[in-house]
Amino acid sequence: MQILKTIEELQSIRKTITSNVGFVPTMGALHDGHISLIKKARAENEIVIVSIFVNPTQFLPGEDLDAYPRKDEADKKICELCKVDYLFMPEISTMYSKEEVSIKAPNKSYILEGLTRPGHFDGVLQVVLKLFGITQPTNAYFGKKDAQQLSLITQMTKDLFLPINIIACEIVRENDGLALSSRNVYLNSNQRQEALLISKSLYSAGALIAKGELDTNIVKNKILEIMKSLDVEYVAIVDREFNEINKIELKNTIILVVARFGNTRLLDNIWL
């Protein structure tokens, strides 16, 4: 595995590659969820590039940019064990200049995740577009846990006519059901136990739907009942385009949940 710090290094290498390239962009603090993306990329491409970059433009003032977990040495070892070919670890000054051409996310970026974090998805799309330009992947891998982000990146790729396949990958969970997240390390033991109500509520919703209940209000109320002891930010039931719906549409519905545990914000979802 080769570790690259500059855009020039990576672009020079990229010019020599004629086979399929799989790309996994991350912010580091790698866990089994990231590893599942890397392994899928490894299985489906001749060359695998992983990036680790904590992107400042997607953090709002007062968010956890400075405290975001950084585990560079462990991350390097993980990538090596996963047989990554190139690990790209740029500095902020490498990725951004003083005056930038800005990326404007569409209106659906200002609901749900974007409602209380205006401008967050502008930053996400900006850095992803930069990374796509540098790596020029054949296939790029993203987890379904960040469902709205995945939808916006897919739309950007389509709208800007980028010749990249966006591969959506399943959520990876702990044995007890908690969705893996780099922010799980912020939870104390009591919060960690309480957080299990998130996945429990989603599993219960799935079971209710499996029995034939398609009314979104009834399903949403079931979720809220299970999570009544938590600080729930939102429960939303939407179609794949992130329009709110009144009736569950099988194979076209996502149920999304966000709850707070102190200063830690956890999101989870199920795709139907």
- Which active-site residues does the annotation give? 34
Distance between CA atoms of 161 and 164, rounded to whole angstroms?
Answer: 9
Q: Smallest Cα–Cα separation from 40: which of 165, 180, 199?
A: 165
Q: Smallest Cα–Cα separation from 92: which of 120, 126, 61?
A: 126
Q: Using DSSP bridges, classify how beta strands 253-261 and 264-271 pair: parallel, antiparallel or unpaired.
A: antiparallel
Strands laid side by side in the 47-52 sheet: 2-4, 86-88, 47-52, 21-26, 139-143, 165-169
Distance between CA atoms of 159 and 137, rounded to whole angstroms?
Answer: 17
